[in-house]
Structure 1
């Protein structure tokens, strides 16, 4: 479920130039918040959802009580503030600084400065950096694997032996805290080697299912 809070208008000290540091400037903030609203939809209770009124007030308090050099810093602080709510899965912040270009009167017709920031992009970059610690020179492959993983697609890796195909998949599983299983296809392979089988438990005389490597899923 997604909530959008639009046109949060606040005033703050923001800028790197001396004239900016001494005057309050108007800021317009839009935020997008993604969360699991299943429980709230059933209970119809405020405590089961994201209190967007409180988030709005927290953003206004943050921006009005602090000063910032760069608008990127402000956006980052707002993202951190929103993500402290354990119900929030993802957020995007859009900041409009209407007066960013005002001192240059000859450029008044230029579109006002705007920035958007999403922590999701930062997480992707972090995953690539972690993968690069194990795998050297395979940036395109890592990018393709992440793309397939995030879009829910299937991936076929082809290449000569020793080019880190298996290592790349295992590395991504480690980075994302997911399980990893490898199936070695041989002439004597049976369905149970992939799907699993029923195993007898002598302690209580019952059978239990021992799942095969097929159950190492990405979701």
Structure 2
């Protein structure tokens, strides 16, 4: 996990449960499935801390709405592609300096609760 530097904030969006088309089998192509998304975001929060104004903070509600729109309005063959697209969406917010996205596909394997993939991105300083 990325270390916090002074003035940085860590935001976690936990267990965002959405439905989308994910997979390559006929049944997966025809039917939406549940997925679970967890996002970790680091951003410089000094201005927000000082001002106590939403305009100076990273609006995690806006990020969540963008992720929901992306996931629910698209189709994905691979969990890797879905995870990268969500990461790209999160990194599209200029205040984000670092992000990790984990996407779980429940019951993807027999005898397993889920399969997940995690990808990370970092903005160049």
Please state whether the residue corresponding to 2:93 is helix, strand or coil: coil
Decide whether the 8 Å contact of 1:26 with 1:99 is kept in 2: no
Task: Provide the residue aligned with 1:116 in structure 2.
Answer: 118
Paired residue secondary structure (2:21): strand
CA shift digits 1:153-190 (9 cap, x unpaired): xxxxxxxxxxxxxxxxxxxxxxx89xxxxxxxxxxxxx
Task: Determine the structure 2 residue equivalent to 1:44.
Answer: 52
The question of 1:73 aligning with 2:73 is answered no
2:24 is equivalent to residue 22 of structure 1: no
The runs of at least 4 aligned residues of structure 1 exceeding 3 Å deviation read none
Equivalenced residue count is: 117
Paired with 1:111 and 1:12, the residues of 2 have a C-alpha distance of 18
Query: Which sections of structure 2, spanning at least 5 residues, go unmatched?
Result: 1-8
RMSD, aligned CA: 1.7
Q: How high is the TM-score relative to the length of structure 2?
A: 0.87
Match of 1:6 in 2: 14
- More contact order relative to length (CA 8 Å, sep ≥ 6): 2
State TM-score, norm by structure 1: 0.51
Q: Which has the higher helix share?
A: 1
SS in 2 for 1:119: strand
Matches within 5 A, 1:151-170: none
Q: How many Å apart are 1:119 and its aligned residue?
A: 2.1
| 1:54 shift after superposition | 1.2
How far did 1:84 drift?
A: 1.2
Residue 47 of structure 1 aligns to a residue whose secondary structure is helix
Instruction: Write the distance in 2 (CA, Å) between the matches of 1:83 and 1:10.
Output: 20
